[in-house]
């Protein structure tokens, strides 16, 4: 009985200590690890939101770019940092939802981090050269199905989000064109515009200026709902008769596992406030991003679903990077 009492007191003491610590948080600058180079999409949204929430937290947030290994280097730094709320991760679908399904990573995407908030959702657009003869997505599918060897699709790299989005589309549509991986989105889009590759899936932020200028033709969006950046482009699930085709890149914030819940909730609340502000919303939308706030609990459930889904896509397409 005494042992039980001692254990109960210990748990209560930890809870009280954690709550007291959270009340004084933050008392010094916070480091935000971005596992990508400056100027990349994750870097852009993270800096913008960090600038806003630092005001509410009353401390500066210092962005630290730690790029490399598909985002796994920076992510691992956060996973192994003290869970005190002073090291955060600008998280994204690549190193968290996709990479761990393709190769062994030094962190567990669902156990090594405390989800704070989902912030942005970035749908992909199916685009082709303007001379591509199909009038809509259904005709594109029919053309590829009839002559699979004649058509090729590009991606920003094997195992990249654009590759996985494409493979899900092909699986649901029952087609098997040739994959041409590139080292980045820019060369992939260049060859689609030049007609060397039939089509690709890329983010609305990447293709919007090219579609507006007439250098690319947009056929559909990968999400179940229209994107605010390209509202005239209908969902592929709707136009191609592929119910359930709903996939996009995402971005959010995470902390090391074990970070006190009070701290996680406070940062999450500040992120929610930032996403509700007209100025912040306008700046993110101008970058080609849809806003999609989800609480820590909702974000955790979302991450679990994404891990299962991308794992299934990778296994079916036999994609491994090890």
CA distance 9 to 112: 27
Least confident of 71-75, 166-170, 272-276, 287-291: 287-291
Contact between 137 and 240 (Cβ < 8 Å)? yes
Query: pLDDT value at position 10?
Result: 53
- Sketch out the chain's domains with CATH numbers: 30-122+248-317 (3.40.190.150), 123-239 (3.40.190.10)
Q: What is the pLDDT of residues 58-112, one digit of tens each?
A: 999 999 999 999 999 999 999 999 999 999 999 999 999 999 999 999 999 999 9
Q: Provide the 10 A C-beta neighbour count for residue 107.
A: 20
Q: What is the pLDDT of residues 207-265, one digit of tens each?
A: 999 999 999 999 999 999 999 989 999 999 999 999 999 999 999 999 999 999 999 99
Mean pLDDT, residues 104-121 taken together: 97
Burial string for 237-248 (b: 16+ CB within 10 Å, else e) reads: bbbbebeebbbb
Contact between 160 and 203 (Cβ < 8 Å)? no
| Predicted confidence (pLDDT) at residue 18 exceeds the cutoff of 60 | no
Contact between 293 and 275 (Cβ < 8 Å)? yes
Query: pLDDT value at position 205?
Result: 83
Q: What is the pLDDT of residues 278-313, one digit of tens each?
A: 999 999 998 889 999 999 999 999 999 999 999 999
List the structure tokens of 177: 């064109």
Q: Who has greater pLDDT, 53 or 1? A: 53
What is the Cα 114 distance to its own chain's centre? 16
**Phi/psi of residue 119, each to 5°?**
-120, -45
């Amino acid at each position: 009985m005494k042992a039980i009492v001692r254990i109960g007191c210990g748990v209560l003491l930890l809870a009280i200590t954690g709550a007291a610590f959270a009340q004084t948080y933050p008392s010094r600058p916070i480091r935000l690890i971005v596992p990508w180079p400056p100027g990349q999409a994750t870097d852009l949204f993270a800096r913008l939101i960090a600038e806003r929430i630092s005001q509410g937290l009353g401390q500066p947030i210092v962005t630290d770019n730690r790029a490399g290994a598909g985002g796994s280097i920076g992510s691992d730094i956060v996973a192994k940092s003290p869970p005190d709320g002073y090291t955060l991760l600008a998280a994204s679908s690549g190193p968290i939802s996709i990479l761990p399904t393709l190769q062994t990573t030094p962190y567990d995407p669902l156990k090594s981090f405390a989800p704070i908030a989902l912030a942005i959702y970035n749908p992909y657009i199916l685009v082709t050269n303007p001379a591509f003869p199909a009038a809509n997505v259904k005709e594109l599918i029919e053309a590829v199905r009839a002559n699979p060897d004649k058509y090729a699709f590009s991606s920003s790299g094997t195992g990249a989000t654009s590759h996985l989005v494409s493979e899900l589309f092909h699986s649901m549509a029952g087609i098997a064109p040739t994959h041409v991986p590139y080292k980045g989105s820019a060369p992939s889009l260049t060859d689609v515009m030049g007609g060397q590759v039939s089509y690709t899936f890329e983010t609305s932020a990447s293709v919007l200026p090219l579609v507006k200028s007439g250098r690319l033709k947009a056929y559909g969006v990968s999400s179940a709902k229209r994107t605010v950046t390209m509202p005239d482009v209908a969902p592929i699930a709707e136009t191609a008769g592929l119910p359930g085709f709903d996939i996009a890149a995402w971005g959010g914030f995470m902390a090391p596992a074990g970070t006190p819940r009070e701290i996680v909730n406070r940062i999450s609340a500040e992120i929610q406030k930032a996403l509700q502000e007209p100025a912040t919303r306008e700046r993110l939308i101008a970058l080609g991003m849809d806003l999609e706030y989800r609480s820590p609990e909702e974000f955790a459930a979302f991450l679990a679903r994404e891990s299962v889904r991308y794992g299934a896509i990778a296994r079916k397409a036999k994609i491994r990077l090890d």
